[in-house]
Structures are given as structure tokens and as C-alpha cells.
Amino acid sequence: MNEQDEFDGDRFDGDESVDHAPAPDQAPALIMEKARKVYPMADSEVVALDDADIVVEADEMVALVGPSGSGKTTLCSIAGGILSPTSGRVVVGGVDISTFGPKQLTRVRRELVGFVFQSVNLVPFLTARENLLVVDELGRRTGAPARRRADQLLEELGLADRAKNLPGQLSGGQRQRVAIGRALMNDPKLVLFDEPTSALDTKLGMAVMELIRDEMKSRGIAAIVVTHDERITQFCDRSVHMEDGKVL
Amino acid sequence: MFLAWKEMRRAKARFGLLIAAVGLLVFLILFQQSLQNGLLTSFTGALRNQSAEVLVYRTDGRRILQASVISPDLTEMVGQDPSVAAVGRITQGTFSVTPLALGADAEPLETSIIGFELPDLGGPRFLTVGRVPANTEEAVASEVDADGGFAVGDVVRIEPGGKQLTIVGLARDAQLNVAPTLFVTYDAYRAALVSRNPDAGAPLPNALGIRPAPGLTADQVAAAINTLSPELDALTRDDAAEQAPGVAQVRQSFRVIFLLYGFVVPLVTGLFFLIITFQKAPALTLLRAIGAPASRLVASLLVQVAIVLGGGLAAGVGLYAALARGRIGGVTLRFETTAVIVWVVLLSVGGLISALFSARRVLAIDPYSATTGAGVGR
């Protein structure tokens, strides 16, 4: 598949790569079987993810908890198509991405997954509305429907009056809400939140988590929330603990 | 386009300043190109735009028209060579000339006077107005000096002596040694000499103008004449202009300047985009992480480079078109279309090549860096 091919054809439909997969809407958002990520070093190797198994159902919200270096971010990066596993099987929204190359993974990130990162989440020279619309611009450019969806998301996130503001003109909480809106723009199967409250104070952090839970549940979208803060887990359906690259 | 335009709209001052800087550099390049060509035309235009295809100097004149003196035996030797169809004697000197149109008491000007025996072998090649002189009272002047008392119908007076010449035509790009230049008949030249010095004898020619024999090129004739005697130095018309003393040095000096400018424009453009690529590395990394193809980000970068180069080139050429006219001292400046085309192509290609360094950085972005907050600058 070349770069142009990414824009041809239909959106990933969920059953093109998976045997015996259920209907896409009912398929688990994530199936990870024996996923392993190994980084070769000079004379040895570092195992960042050690035969991880995890299944996240279509509308499930999972807290991924563990100390720094436990492999949470690596697991999320593989689930989101940012990294490829060294071995094992990874199925996102019914699409087996285990053997996908960089260009196919780029398309996975654009069409199947939403991201809210810990640090940089918005493009500083784009307004709040444009930060949502950029998702459409990077893909097949639907135009008017995308603009309507962006306006609707901003409305639902309470940011309609901030649509024309640049990220630098928004508070920390508002920026996180815009990032959540951006993560939902492509109607993803799975949204990955990497320490979404780490840059916020406790009160605002809890408010943002409430918002995340409400948005995910109201849309029936699965989510993994990476955190080392146990208080966050109360907003999720269940917690999965990690240590030394293993899912416990 | 979306990202490229949005970013440029939000950073108008930054991109505007870069466009202005590129425009200024382009203007300086083109202006100096005009200056160089104007300077060389003022030095040697009369040689390049005289009518003889081949000029023969005496070797010890070192290709300085006034310093070369052709003896009668050399003239006869050249005239008898089978490669030569006709020979016309050319003489040249510097005179003090008062343009009477500026007043009888006007300051005399150092003026080159070129005397030709045959109008098609040393006379002016391109007349923009008027005709060639037909008697000893007439002259053709260089067009650029028309406003200085050398227009058609004006009368000039040779000092001392008071011989007067009436301007009957103007020749394009026909100055010699950055001075007003007059083309006169050989007899008029002799009359001018006698006017200045009544004891002056008949002048020997400073050079010979040659008409090649049928079927021969100017290069072939020059080569043939050069084999006749080591005292003869035959050159084609263009070579005579190009190899005049000082021309090569002037070209070399300007070439160094152009080379520097030719590097500076792509360097400025390339560094600018490299800097902003580093500055916005986190945003680019984020975009890669959420599914932006690397090619899309590179295309966005190249669109910006094209806009900056296009804007800068347009601004520079516009400024050049507005200001590169008229004269600086004795040098005439012109809008030179060929120079504009050549420099626009060179600078566009150079600018795009320099932007490839930024493109490489963009292609090197690892989306995984979005999870760590790092960007391409790591």
C-alpha cells in the first residue's frame, strides 16, 4: 500500500483481516494476545511488553494502572498503532493490525483510534475548531459533515464559545476538552488516554475524568485510560494492572 | 494546504518578514546584475555594437583600442589575406568636447571619438534614431548621452580648436570607457585632430574592421589573420568586447558577489524552515501520532516554501522593475528579462533543495515521541 492508497477505498470495516470476527459494532475494541515488544540493546535486549493479553469490549472503559516503566505506554502505543509489536496478535475494532507496516498503521491511527496524550495535545497555530477539523483534513476530507460534527462536539463539550480560540487562549481544562473532541472526531473504535489529568489540579482532573466517562459511555466507545493515580480508576469499568511489562 | 495556510495566517509577521528578506535579496541580485551589465556596456558597448564582425589590433596595444596602432604594412598584409573580403580603418581618441546645447560656456566633457573609414566596418551597428554621418561635420552619439547635449540636432564643439559636429543619429549601447562617445567618418576624425593640434598628421588606424570572405565565419577569419604575423591580434566583435582589459576582472568580482547571494537566499530559506520545523516539532509529532501521513506534512512544508519563494521573488522582481531604470553615474541600468528568468529558476530550485533538509526532519518524526512529549529535535 503506498501513501496514496491510504486515501483510496473505504474506511476500515472491521472484518477484512480477522477470522471468525463478530459484527464490527459488537467486536471487542481491542484484542491483544501474547503481545510482546522487545528493544535490542548492545549485548542484550529490553522487554518493554512481555506477552501481554488484554481484551477491551466495544463500550468498555479500562484503567491501565502501574508504576512508571511498567509498560503502560508501550501497551497503549501498540494498541493505537503507534508501535508495532515484536510478536503477538493485536486486533483493533476487528482489524488485525499485528503485521501492518508504518503506512497502514498511520491509517489505523487516523480512522480507528482516538488519542489524548499526556503533554502536547493540540496544534498551537490552529483554533479549537480547527484542531478538530484537522482530523478530517488528514483523511478523506468530507468537508461540510466534518464541520457540522466539529461544531456539535464543541457544543457538547461546552466549548462552542471557544471555537475560534487558539490553544494558548484556553485554560488547561478547556484544552483537554478540545483534545477529547479531537479524539472523537474520527468516530473511533477505541480512545487511548495517556495520563489525561496529570497536567491538571485534582478538582479539574476529576471533572475531566467525569467528562471522559460521560462522553465515552454516551457514545458507546471503548477507552483505555493510562494512569498511575488510583483515584482515576473509579471512573472506569475495571482496572488492569501492569508491572515489568506484564499484564497482571 | 489547510495546515500550510492556517499556520501562515497565524504567523503573518514571521512569514511576511521572510518574504521581505527574500525579496530584498532577489532585488539586490537583479540590481547588481543590471549594474554589472550596465557597467560593462558603458566600458565596451562601442566595441560590441560597432559594425565590423572582426577587429584587428596590434599585439602590443594589449587590446586597448587607443593604444593599438596598425602600421600601413600590417594593413596591407591583412587586406591581402584570402579570408578577408574588405578592410576598414578604425581610429579612436579622447577629446574635450563641449555640448553647446548646454550652453557655450558649458564644462567640456571627456569624449571618445571613433573614426571609421567604412560605415559597415567600424560604424555604429544599431541606430535608434537618425542616420550615419555623411560628412566631416556630422557625428552619431551614444543614445544614453542624448540628454547631456548629444541629442539629434545638437551641436558639439571640440576643444581646443573649436571644430563643431552636428549630431545626426543616436546609437544604442555605444559608449566606450564610460564616456560620451561619438562615431564620425575617418576624415571627420582627422579634422578633429587637426582642430585640436594643427600640426597633427594623418592618423594611423588603431584597429582594422574586417568583413569575412564569403563562406567564412568571424572566428575562422580571426584565426587566419592571427597566423599572418605575431604583431596582429584579431578578435571577433564579441571577443573584442569581452577581452578588453578590466572586463574579466569586473565579471569575476560580480561573479563572487552573485555566488554569495546565490547561496544566501536558499540558505536563509532553508534555515528559516529548519528552525520553524524544530520549533513546531511537538505539533508535527502530534499530527503524525493522530494519523497524518508524513507525505502530507512534507507537502504542507513545501507549499509554504513555494509561497515564501514565490512571494519573495515577486516582491524582488517588482522592486527591481520599479527601481532598475535610469542611470547611476555614467552607467545605464535596464530591466533584464533574461537575468530575471535565470535567477528566478536558480533561486527557486536552490530554495526548494534547501527545504529538503527540513523535509528530512519531518520524515524523521517518530509518532511514538508524542507519548513522551518529545519531537523531532531529540
CB contact set of B355 (below 8 Å; sequence gap of 6+): B269, B270, B273, B301, B302, B305
- Of the candidates A76, A77, A138, the beta carbon closest to that of B296 is on A138
Is-contact A209 A201, C-beta < 8 A?
no
To probe the interface with A, which of B10, B285, B286 has the most A CB atoms within 10 Å?
B286
Which range, A191-200, B175-184, B363-372, is most confident?
Answer: B175-184
**Half-sphere exposure of residue B167, counting CA atoms within 13 Å on the CB side?**
31
Check CB contact under 8 Å for B367 and A109.
Answer: yes
Compare all CA atoms of chain B with the CA of A226 and give the residue at the minimum distance.
B371
* Distance, CA of A1 to CA of A19 (rounded, Å): 22
Q: Which residue of B has its CA nearest to A167?
A: B283
Interchain pair B287, A121: CB under 8 A: no
User: Which residue of A lies nearest to B8 if distances are taken between CA atoms?
Assistant: A125
Angle B159-B161-B164 from CA coordinates, rounded to 5°: 75
Mean pLDDT, residues A136-159 taken together: 87
Where do the DSSP E strands lie in A13-150?
A: 30-40, 45-56, 61-65, 87-92, 95-96, 113-116
- Tell whether A104 is within 8 A of chain B (Cβ): no
CB contact under 8 A, A117 and B283: no
The pLDDT score that the predictor gives to residue A67 is 87
CA distance A13 to A16: 7
State pLDDT tens for residues A41-53.
878 888 999 999 9
Q: B280 at the A interface (CB within 8 A)? A: yes
**What's the Rg (C-alpha) of chain A?**
18
A82/B368 touch (CB, cutoff 8 Å), yes or no: yes
pLDDT digits (tens, 9 = 90+) for B89-133: 999 999 999 999 888 888 999 999 999 999 999 999 989 999 999
Put simply, the chain A residues between 11 and 70 with a CB less than 8 A from any chain B CB are: none
Q: What is the mean pLDDT of residues B15-22?
A: 92
Residue numbers in A near B11 (CB within 8 A) = 125
Question: Positive or negative, the Cα torsion across B262, B265, B266, B268?
Answer: positive
145-204 in A: which are within 8 Å (CB) of B?
166, 182, 186, 194
- pTM here is 0.78
Distance from CA of A195 to the nearest CA of B (A): 10
For residue range B185-227, what is the model confidence (pLDDT) as tens digits?
A: 999 999 999 988 888 888 899 999 999 999 999 999 999 999 9
CA-based nearest distance A38→chain B, Å? 15
- Taking CB atoms and an 8 Å cutoff, what residues of chain B touch A130? 6
- Cβ distance A107 to B291 less than 8 Å, yes or no, reads yes
Segment A174-202, tens digit of pLDDT: 898 899 999 999 889 999 998 888 777 88
Residues 231-260 of B with CB under 8 A from A: none
How far apart are the CA of B23 and the nearest CA of chain A, in angstroms? 25
- Whether the per-residue pLDDT at A25 is higher than 60: the answer is no
Cα A141 to Cα A3, A8, A189, B2, B292, distances in angstroms: 16, 12, 20, 11, 13
> Does B377 lie at the interface with A, CB-CB under 8 angstroms?
no
* A-chain residues near B294 (CB < 8 A): 3, 106
Q: Which helix (H) or strand (E) holds B98?
A: strand B84-99
Contact B318, B282 (CB under 8 A): no
- Give chain A positions within 8 Å (CB) of B287: 123, 134, 138
A-to-B residue pairs, Cβ atoms closer than 8 angstroms: 88
Contacting residues of A for B295, CB less than 8 Å apart: 3
Of chain A residues 204-223, which have a CB less than 8 A from chain B? none
Q: What is the mean pLDDT of residues A67-93?
A: 92
Cα–Cα distance for residue pair B77/B56, rounded to 1 Å: 12
CB contact under 8 A, A115 and B289: yes
Read off the pLDDT band of A6 (50, 70, 90).
very low
Q: Note the Cα A228 to chain centre separation in Å.
A: 17
Instruction: Encode A183-200: b = buried (16+ Cβ within 10 Å), e = exposed.
Output: bbbbebbbbbbbbbbebb
CA distance B192 to B157: 10
Distance from CA of A20 to the nearest CA of B (A): 28
| d(C-alpha A186, C-alpha B42), whole Å | 68
Contact A134 B283 (CB under 8 A): no
Q: How far apart are CA A164 and CA A155, in angstroms?
A: 13
Q: What is the DSSP string of A95-134?
A: EE-TT--HHHHHHHHHHTEEEE-SS--S-TTS-HHHHHHH
Closest alpha carbon to A244 in A72, A39, A67, A70 = A70
Q: Chain A partners of B292 at a C-beta cutoff of 8 Å?
A: 106, 110, 138
pLDDT range class, residue B373, cuts 50, 70, 90: low
b/e code B196-206 from CB counts within 10 Å (16+ = b): beeeeeebebb
* Chain B residues whose beta carbon lies within 8 Å of the beta carbon of residue A175: none
DSSP state, B305?
H
Contact A126 B291 (CB under 8 A): no
Helix (H, G, I), strand (E, B) or coil at A86: coil
CA distance A55 to B253: 74
Say which residues have a Cβ less than 8 Å from residue B251's Cβ, sequence separation at least 6: B36, B40
Q: What is the pLDDT of residue A195?
A: 85
CB contact burial A81-117 (16+ within 10 A = b; e otherwise): bbbbbbebbbbbbbbbbbebeebbbbbbbbbbbbbbb
Band (pLDDT 50/70/90 cuts) for residue A14 is very low
Structural domain spans, chain B: 2-43+247-371, 46-239
How much is the ipTM here?
Answer: 0.87
Question: What residues of B are in contact with residue A77 (Cβ under 8 Å)?
Answer: 368, 371
What does the pLDDT look like over B25-70, one tens digit per residue?
Answer: 999 999 999 989 888 998 899 999 999 999 999 999 888 988 899 9
Q: What is the pLDDT of residues B298-313, one digit of tens each?
A: 999 999 999 999 999 9
Distance CA B36, CA B71 (A): 35
Cell of B260: 554569495
Task: Count the residues in chain A.
Answer: 248
Q: Locate B119 and state its grid cell.
A: 560605415
Dihedral of the alpha carbons of B171, B172, B176, B177, in degrees to the nearest 10: 140
pLDDT of residue B217: 93
Q: Is B141 helix (H, G, I), strand (E, B) or coil?
A: strand
Per-residue pLDDT tens over the stretch B230-285: 999 999 999 999 999 889 999 999 999 999 988 888 888 889 888 988 888 889 99
- CA-CA distance, A52 to A71, in Å (whole number)? 10
| A109-134 pLDDT, tens digit each | 999 999 998 776 899 999 999 999 99
